[in-house]
Structure 1
Amino acid sequence: MRARAGAAVLVLAAGLLTACGGGGAEQENGPIEITWWHGQVESQAKVIEELAAEYGKAHPDVKVVPAVGTTNVDEMLQKVQAVLAGGKAPDIAYMYGTWSPVLARTPKVHDLTATVNAPGFGWDDFWPSERAVSEVDGKVVGIPAIVDNLAVIYNKKLFDAAGLAYPEKDWTWDDFRDAAKKLTGGGVYGTAYPVTGTEDTVWRFWPHLWQQGGEILSPDGKKSAFNTPQAVAALDLWSAMARQDKSVYLDQNGEKFLPLFQSGKIGMVIAGPWALLDIIDHKISYGVQILPGTNGDHQTIAGPDNWVVFDNGARRTKAATDFLTWLTRPEQDARWTLGLGNLPVRKATTELPAYRKFTEDFPGIDVFTANLDNAKKARPQLPAYPEFSEKVGNAIAQALVGGTPAQEALTRAATEGDRVLERSR
C-alpha cells in the first residue's frame, strides 16, 4: 500500500452492487482472449507485457491482453464500476486491498476460494496478512499482487554525526523518541509524519495500537474500540515529539517527507519497501529496522493489493484463474515483484537465486521481508472503513498539527466513527 485515495469507496459501492450485464460475450469456441487491467506504467507495464506474451506462447489457446484501463490505480475501482454499469468488465483487474469489502458484495466478482484451495496452488505459502486481506466473509475476492509493510528507514550518516548507535531489533518507542530528539537540529528533523488525514496518516498509527493489545473495532464490528488509554498514550507520544521536542516534520500533503529524507534533512522515516529505490538512487547511506516495540511486541501493518477476477462466462473465468495461478508461482512472482523492487508475495520465492540477488541490489529489503511475520492483523474488512478511517486521520492531524489533546481528538473520532458504522448497517 502506498498513499492512496479511498474516500469515494462508499459512493462507488452502490454502483458496483447494482451493476448488471454479463461483460463481453461468452466465447463459445476457439482461442480465449482475456483482458488484464493492471494500472501499471513504464517499467512495470513492460514486465506485464512480457509475462502475458510468455504465457500466450506456452498456451496458444489463450491470449492475455494487458490494458492499462486507467493510468492511475487510485481510479481503478471507479473505472471498473463504469464499465460494469455498461455491461462489460475486464477479466482481471488490479485492486487495492482496502477495496476488498466492497468487491465481496459485487456479484460480478468471481469467488476464488476453489482456485486457491486447489492442490498445488500453495495458498499457505502466502503470508497470513495477504490472505486476510484477500478473504472477506469466507469469500476469496483476490489473489495477492503486491505486499508491503511498514518499518523504519534511517540515515546512517546522520546517526553517526549525532553519535547514535543504529537501532536494534529490540528498540522501543522511547528509544525512537530519544533518537529523533538527538537527530534534530541544524535544519534536520529526527523523523516525520504525514498528516493528510487520509489512510496514509492512519495506517501508521494502527501498529502502535495493536502492539498494546488494542483493537480498531469491537468484535462484532459495530463500534469503535481504539479510544483507550493506550491509544491516547501513543498519540500523546507523537504529539510530544512534534510539539515539544520539535523533532517531527509534519507533512501536510504527504509528498515531501521522503524527498526530504533523500536529501539528508530527516533522520528516520516510517515507510515501506517502495521507498528504497529512490533512496538508493540518491546514494543515501541507510539502514532498515523493524518498528519500535511495546513490551517486546513489534507488530507492523501490511498493505496487500490483489488481482481480482470478474465473471465473463465460464471459459474466460477459468482461463483467467489458470493464468493467475501461473502468474503467482514463485518463478513468475520473482520477475513481477523482485524485478520491480517489491517484496515477494510468496515465501517460496525467497528460496530462489533471484531473491538472493534482490537482497544484494536492495540492502535492507530482507528486513522488510522478515517483517511480514510481524504483520499479524488486517484493517477491518468493512465497506465503511475508508470513511471511518478519515475520522481517525483527522483526529491524528488535529492532535499533531493543531495541538488538540489526544484524548479529546480520539473521543471525537470514536463518536464520529460510530455514526459511520451505524449508517453502514
Structure 2
Amino acid sequence: MKRFARLLSTALTAIFLMSAALSGCSAKTGDTPAAPSTGTPAKTVTLKFYTPTDEVTNKQLKWPEFIDEFEKKNPGIKVEMAPLVANVNNDEYKKKVDLMIAAGEQIDLVKSSALYELTEWIDNGVIEPLDDYAKNAGINLSDEYKGVTPYNGKIYAIPEEITPWLVFINKDMLDAAGLPIPSRDWTWDDYREYAKKLTKGEGANKVYGSFMNDWSNFFAVGTQSEIMDDPFFTEDNKLNFEHPAFRDGLQFRYDMENVDKSQVPYVDMSSQKLLYRNQFFSGKVAMVCMGAWMVSDIQLIDKYPHTFKTTFATYPRWSNDSKPNTSQLDGAGFGWSINAKSANKEAAYKFLTALTSEGLEMGHKKWTPWKKANSDEVIKGIIGPDESLYDLEALKNVIFDPQRVDNVVTRSGPGESEIIDAFTSEAEKYFVGGQSLDSTMKNTIDKANAIVEKAKK
C-alpha cells in the first residue's frame, strides 16, 4: 500500500488528540483462553489499541464496558482504546496504522480487514505470531475459534467476526410482486429474473430490483461458488483471470444494468455516492447481496428508518454444478493481531483472546468466531428486541444451514491488493460504457502480470 509521508504529521496530530478521549472497559475471563503465566506484574502495563469503527459503534458493541470488566479481572493491565477514523472505514484505518507503526507510536493491537492486508503486514515483519503464546496457555486456537487459518504454518490473527454472504430482500416488495422466497438452490440467472420482476417505476420514483456495491467481488459474482479460496490466484500461485467466471461475471452485471435496467447503474452509484444500506432501507431497491454483518443494521431504525420486514435468501450459485448456499466466509483468516514491536506482547495476547471471546459475547452484536458462544444469544443481540422487522425463520435457514459451504480464503498472491485495484479500475471503464469487454479483460491481465513481476523482484 502506498505510504503518504506528507500526511504523517497531520495523521499523528489527530491520533494524539484522540488519545485524550480514550475510554476503557473489560470482560469476564472464565472460559477465555489464558495468556502465558507471568505472575503479578511489578507495575501496571498499559495497552493501546485503535479501532476501525467509530465511537458510536464501539459503544453499541459494549467495548468500553468490556474493558472495565477486563481491567477489574486483570489489575496489572490497563487498556486504552480510541477510534482511529471518523466513521467505519477500513482503508483509512490501515493507512493510519501504517503511519503510526512507521513513526514508532505505541499500538499494541492492530486489525486487518482482508487477508492481503494481513499477509502484507506479516511479510513486512509487522505482526507477531500467536502460536507460542497459545501453546504456553495450553490451548489450540483452532479449537477455540472458527475461521482461524495459518499463514506459512503460523497463526497471526483471530477474527473479530465471520460472516457468510446472503441476499437481503424487502418482503413487502416480494409479496407485492407475487414472488416466493427464493429456493435454497437458486442461481444467478434466477436472481436476474427476480430483479426484473421487482423493478418498477420511472425516473426519480424508480425502484430497482437489485443493488450491487463497487467492490471487486461484485464484478464477478460467480467466483464465490465457482472458485474455492483466492479467486485471483490458482493454488500454484498463477493469475486466474482466464477463468470464465471473471469475464462472464462482468458481462452479467453490465447486462443487468444496461439491458434489463433492473439494477442501479454503476455510473449512478459512483457519481451520486449511493450506499447499499441507505438504498435498501429507504425502499429504493428490493434486493441487496451482502455479508451477514448487515443483519444487525435492520434493527437500527433511528439510523435507517423503515417499517418493512426483511427476508433472506442464500447467496445464488453461478451454475447448476455449484453447491447451493456457497459463499465467501468474510473475516476468516484475518482480524486482530499483536504488533511485533509491542513491548507488552503477553498482556496484549491476554487481552486479544478476551476481546475476541467474551468481549464479543458481552455486546452480542457480531457473528462471533468463538466456538463457546451461545448461538441463541448471538442472534438475539444481532437482531435486537423487535423481531417484527425480520423473517427470522428465513434468516436461520440460511445462516444455520447444515449444508452451507463456506468459501474460506487462505492464501494471497504477489501484489494482490494492487491487482484488485487494477481489476476494479478496468471494470469501471467497462461499466460506464467507454471500454469493450475484450479490452477490459486484456488490460486487466496485462496489468496484473506486470504487478506480479514487480512484486517478485
Shorter-chain-normalised TM-score: which range? 0.7 to 0.9
Q: CA offset at residue 144 of structure 1? A: 1.1
Task: Please say if residues 142 and 307 of structure 1, whose CA atoms lie closer than 8 Å, have aligned partners that are also in contact.
Answer: yes
Residue type matched to 1:203 in 2?
N
1:412 is aligned to 2:443:
yes
Q: CA offset at residue 182 of structure 1? A: 1.0
Which of the residues 143, 147, 156 maps onto 2:158?
143
Q: How many residues align?
A: 388
- Secondary structure class of the residue paired with 1:303: coil
CA-atom RMSD, angstroms? Answer: 3.0
- What residue in structure 1 maps to residue 354 of structure 2? 326
- What residue in structure 2 maps to residue 212 of structure 1? 226
Task: Please say if residues 165 and 327 of structure 2, whose CA atoms lie closer than 8 Å, have aligned partners that are also in contact.
Answer: yes
Once the two structures are superposed, the pairs formed by residues 262-341 of structure 1 within 5 Å of their partners are 262-280=281-299, 281=301, 282-293=306-317, 294-295=319-320, 296-297=322-323, 298-304=325-331, 306-312=335-341, 316-329=344-357, 331-336=358-363, 338=364, 340=365
Residues 347 and 401 of structure 1, relative CA distance in 2, 3 Å threshold: farther
- What residue in structure 2 maps to residue 4 of structure 1? none
- What residue in structure 2 maps to residue 238 of structure 1? 253
Residues 163 and 35 of structure 1, relative CA distance in 2, 3 Å threshold: same
Which of the residues 131, 136, 143 maps onto 2:148?
131
- Measure the CA separation in 2 of the matches of 1:400 and 1:44: 34
- What residue in structure 1 maps to residue 406 of structure 2? 375
Residues 107 and 209 of structure 1, relative CA distance in 2, 3 Å threshold: closer
The 10-residue stretch of structure 1 (55-64 or 29-38) with the greater mean CA deviation from structure 2: 29-38
- What residue in structure 1 maps to residue 262 of structure 2? 247
Which of the residues 349, 364, 373 maps onto 2:373?
349
Once the two structures are superposed, the pairs formed by residues 58-69 of structure 1 within 5 Å of their partners are 58-69=73-84
Task: Please say if residues 239 and 403 of structure 1, whose CA atoms lie closer than 8 Å, have aligned partners that are also in contact.
Answer: no
- Measure the CA separation in 2 of the matches of 1:125 and 1:165: 39
The 10-residue stretch of structure 1 (90-99 or 183-192) with the greater mean CA deviation from structure 2: 90-99
Residue type matched to 1:397 in 2?
E
Residues 164 and 74 of structure 1, relative CA distance in 2, 3 Å threshold: same
- Measure the CA separation in 2 of the matches of 1:350 and 1:367: 18
Task: Please say if residues 165 and 315 of structure 2, whose CA atoms lie closer than 8 Å, have aligned partners that are also in contact.
Answer: yes
The 10-residue stretch of structure 1 (141-150 or 177-186) with the greater mean CA deviation from structure 2: 141-150
1:190 is aligned to 2:217:
no
- What residue in structure 2 maps to residue 87 of structure 1? 104
Identify unmatched segments of 5+ residues in structure 1. 1-8, 14-27
- Measure the CA separation in 2 of the matches of 1:416 and 1:371: 40
Identify unmatched segments of 5+ residues in structure 2. 6-40
- Measure the CA separation in 1 of the matches of 2:212 and 2:58: 31
Task: Please say if residues 48 and 79 of structure 2, whose CA atoms lie closer than 8 Å, have aligned partners that are also in contact.
Answer: yes
- Measure the CA separation in 2 of the matches of 1:260 and 1:204: 16
- Measure the CA separation in 2 of the matches of 1:213 and 1:31: 49
The 10-residue stretch of structure 1 (295-304 or 155-164) with the greater mean CA deviation from structure 2: 295-304
- What residue in structure 2 maps to residue 25 of structure 1? none
Task: Please say if residues 148 and 303 of structure 1, whose CA atoms lie closer than 8 Å, have aligned partners that are also in contact.
Answer: yes
- Measure the CA separation in 2 of the matches of 1:391 and 1:332: 38
- Measure the CA separation in 1 of the matches of 2:285 and 2:4: 38
Under a length normalisation based on structure 1, what TM-score does the superposition of the two structures give? 0.81
Residue type matched to 1:332 in 2?
G
Residues 291 and 69 of structure 1, relative CA distance in 2, 3 Å threshold: closer
- What residue in structure 2 maps to residue 395 of structure 1? 426
The 10-residue stretch of structure 1 (166-175 or 320-329) with the greater mean CA deviation from structure 2: 320-329
Q: CA offset at residue 367 of structure 1? A: 5.5
Residue type matched to 1:77 in 2?
K
Task: Please say if residues 241 and 247 of structure 1, whose CA atoms lie closer than 8 Å, have aligned partners that are also in contact.
Answer: yes
- Measure the CA separation in 1 of the matches of 2:398 and 2:56: 22
Task: Please say if residues 91 and 309 of structure 1, whose CA atoms lie closer than 8 Å, have aligned partners that are also in contact.
Answer: yes
- Measure the CA separation in 2 of the matches of 1:80 and 1:383: 22
Residue type matched to 1:217 in 2?
F
Task: Please say if residues 291 and 299 of structure 1, whose CA atoms lie closer than 8 Å, have aligned partners that are also in contact.
Answer: yes
- Measure the CA separation in 2 of the matches of 1:368 and 1:106: 39
